[in-house]
Amino acid sequence: MPSLGEKMQDIYDEVLWRNPGEQEFHQAVHEVLDSLGPVMAKHPSYTDAAVVTRLCEPERQIIFRVPWVDDAGTVRINRGFRVEFNSALGPYKGGLRFHPSVYLGVVKFLGFEQIFKNALTGMPIGGGKGGSDFDPKGRSDAEVMRFCQSFMTELYRHIGEYTDVPAGDIGVGGREIGYLFGQYKRITNRYESGILTGKGHSFGGSQVRTEATGYGVVFFVDEMLHANGDSFDGKRVVVSGSGNVARYAIEKVHALGGTVVACSDSTGYVVDEKGIDLALLNEVKEVRRGTLAEYAGLRGADARLATSGNVWQVPCDIALPSATQNELDAEDATVLARNGCRILAEGANMPVTPDAVKLLTTAGVAFAPGKAANAGGVATSALEMQQNASRDSWSFEHTERRLGEIMRGIHDRCLETAEEYGVPGNYSAGANIAGFIQVADAMLALGVI
Ligand code: NDP
Ligand code: 2IT
């Protein structure tokens, strides 16, 4: 990695030393520290109060055993995590990820990113993240339920409306949130809607939360296009993943006049020049919990399934990586730029490697970082918390309007901050600096805690 300024390098070296082997966490920290030089020069009080060093150390890290019994009667053991990273702005807030790749370094990178993302939303939420190395793939509903119940049997003592409010992420959607909420309610004998977000509409969930991350990414890109007098009309878009974020991004791109010509999953990708058929994709992914091979089979001659190469080879104007971290590398970035891609926005958290970001920006591709572009999900979670606290529930239209305003606000704040700190048009630096200042000022005010 390129070296940082002297002060930031010292802090980064300490992060490496204190968190050995946590490559994703190192990467996320480096990316933020790389933007902070001009901020620290302007505000010496942040250095005096060791704000950056404190920000890099989670306030609390919880690791626990999750025992459960599979359908064959075999006892299984997974590891559960909740990293409560920073509560300067509000209760810890961030999703739970169930995926075999989950370990402390992944949870910490996600929790660290979440601090700045949540600050950018302007809502009163701190940053946290959690999850497990449990793999829901191929597991029956009953197994997923037993796992969720066991996970919550430990987690419940650490969360609360005013403490820590988890939600979904990879492998955790409406089904899992339902089972988790049910177990919390049973253990505590309290109907506390505000302890989780992403709940079903019948038990305290907000309209638009399911759609919010994908819609929000597309609203953000729409702002980028408008800033250049352009629109989605007629644009070719490629999305990676076909999960929660990807599917609702596809829906909103189509609603705004673009066409999503390809999407992917962990088994391959599908090219569908007439535009991905969202109803079919939802059926395959959400109901059947199947793969894109099933989508291609049911779609017939219109779709082509590919199991070698990757989705970034499909020419597009706009790319929305929405699967997982480090899924798009320098080689992919070169191909995208060569094929005429003009905008890339991160639907996933840290999907683009640092080398690829550099290549894209050098090639003139506008780059929107996840902590700004995908903040619509957590922002709508904060709206769910607001509704739960006031025992209210808002209409779809009202909630979507609020989401649109929040995304526009984040977009403008990134650009204004980038301009103020001498890096005009740089959304990454703008997001990092604006998010950091908001948290740092609160940390200064709260004293050395
Ligand atoms: P889902 O579990 O709904 O979907 C994930 C998708 O990505 C699936 O299509 C999955 O493939 C694919 N995928 C996941 N891991 C890998 C991997 N290691 N290799 C290849 N493909 C993979 O998750 P979400 O849509 O919720 O999350 C996607 C990304 O968006 C994550 O980075 C998450 O952190 C981020 N995010 C999510 C938010 C939310 O509200 N849900 C909010 C903000 C960011 P398959 O279908 O084969 O499993
Ligand atoms: O990465 C994210 O922002 C999320 N997974 C959503 C977190 C939330 O609390 O809604």
Q: How far apart are CA 24 and CA 263, in angstroms?
A: 25
Structural domain for 160, as ranges? 60-191
Could you tell me where the beta strands, DSSP code E, fall in 243-355?
A: 259-265, 268-272, 303-306, 318-320, 343-345
Contact (Cβ atoms closer than 8 angstroms) between residue 83 and residue 62:
yes
Whether ligand 1 lies within 6 angstroms of the CB of 311 is answered as no
For the Cβ of 195 lying below 6 angstroms from any atom of ligand 2, the answer is: no
In a domain, 429, yes or no: no
* Segments in the chain below pLDDT 50: none
Residue 193 per-residue DSSP state: G
Does 72 lie in the same domain as 45? no
Which protein residue has the closest C-alpha to ligand 2 atom 4? 95
Closest atom of ligand 2 to CA, residue 166: 9
The three state secondary structure string of 287-311 is HCCCCHHHHHHHHHHHEEEECCCCH
Predicted confidence at residue 291, as pLDDT, reads 95
Q: Is residue 96 within 6 Å of ligand 1 at its C-beta?
A: no
On whether the CB atoms of residues 76 and 70 are closer than 8 A, the answer is yes
| Ligand 2 binding pocket includes 30 (Cβ within 6 Å) | no
Interval between CA 142 and ligand 2 midpoint (Å) = 25
Residue 381 lies in a domain: no
Ligand nearest to the CA of 196: 2
- The CATH number for 271's domain is 3.40.50.720
Does ligand 1 have an atom closer than 6 angstroms to the CB of 94? no
Whole-model pTM: value is 0.98
What SS3 state is found at 83? Answer: strand
Q: Measured in angstroms, how far is the CA atom of residue 322 from the centroid of ligand 1?
A: 6
Output the residue whose Cα is nearest ligand 1's atom 32: 348
Please spell the DSSP secondary structure of 24-51, one letter per residue: HHHHHHHHHHTT-HHHHHH-HHHHHTTH
Supply the angle between the helices 209-227 and 244-255 in degrees, to the nearest 10. 50
Residues 44, 100 within the same domain: no
Tokens standing for 230?
Answer: 């352009």
My answer on whether 253 and 144 are in the same domain is no
The residue whose C-alpha atom lies closest to atom 3 belonging to ligand 2 is: 378
CB 380 less than 6 A from any atom of ligand 1 = no
Contact criterion met (CB below 8 Å) for 299 and 280: yes
Domain for residue 184, yes or no? yes
**Cα distance between the two ends of the chain:** 31
Q: How many CB atoms neighbour CB 105 within 10 A? A: 19
* CA separation for the pair 95, 359 (Å, rounded): 30
Q: Are 7 and 50 in contact (CB under 8 A)?
A: no
253 in the same domain as 179: no
Assess contact for 220 and 411: CB atoms under 8 A: yes
Residues with a catalytic annotation lie at 129
Give the span between the Cα atoms of 38 and 43, in whole angstroms. 9
Q: Looking at the structure, do residues 49 and 64 belong to the same domain, yes or no?
A: no
C-beta 210 within 6 A of ligand 2: no
Residues 216 and 364 grouped into a single domain:
yes
Q: What does DSSP say about strands 75-86 and 127-132: parallel, antiparallel, or unpaired? A: antiparallel
Q: What residue type is 405 in one-letter code?
A: E
pLDDT at 307: 80
Residue 189's region, left for phi above 0, alpha for psi from -120 to 50, else beta, is: left
For residue 302, the model assigns a pLDDT of 87
CB neighbour list of residue 312: distance below 8 Å, 6 or more residues apart: 238, 240, 319, 328, 332, 335, 336
Residue nearest to atom 13 of ligand 1 (CA): 323
Ligand nearest to the CA of 121: 2
- Indicate whether 181 and 225 sit together in one domain: no
pLDDT computed for residue 94 by the predictor: 98
pLDDT of residue 393: 97
Ligand closest to 378 (CA) is: 2
Nearest in space to 70 (alpha carbons), one of 134, 118, 21: 134
Ligand 2 midpoint to CA 111 (Å):
10
Any domain includes 196 = no
Query: In angstroms, rounded to a whole number, what is the distance separating the alpha carbons of residues 16 and 354?
Result: 17
Residue 386 lies in a domain: no
* Domain assignment of residue 112, yes or no: yes
- 268-272 and 303-306 as β-strands: parallel, antiparallel, unpaired? antiparallel
| Count of beta carbons in the 10 Å neighbourhood of residue 66 | 22
424 φ, ψ to 5°? -55, 140
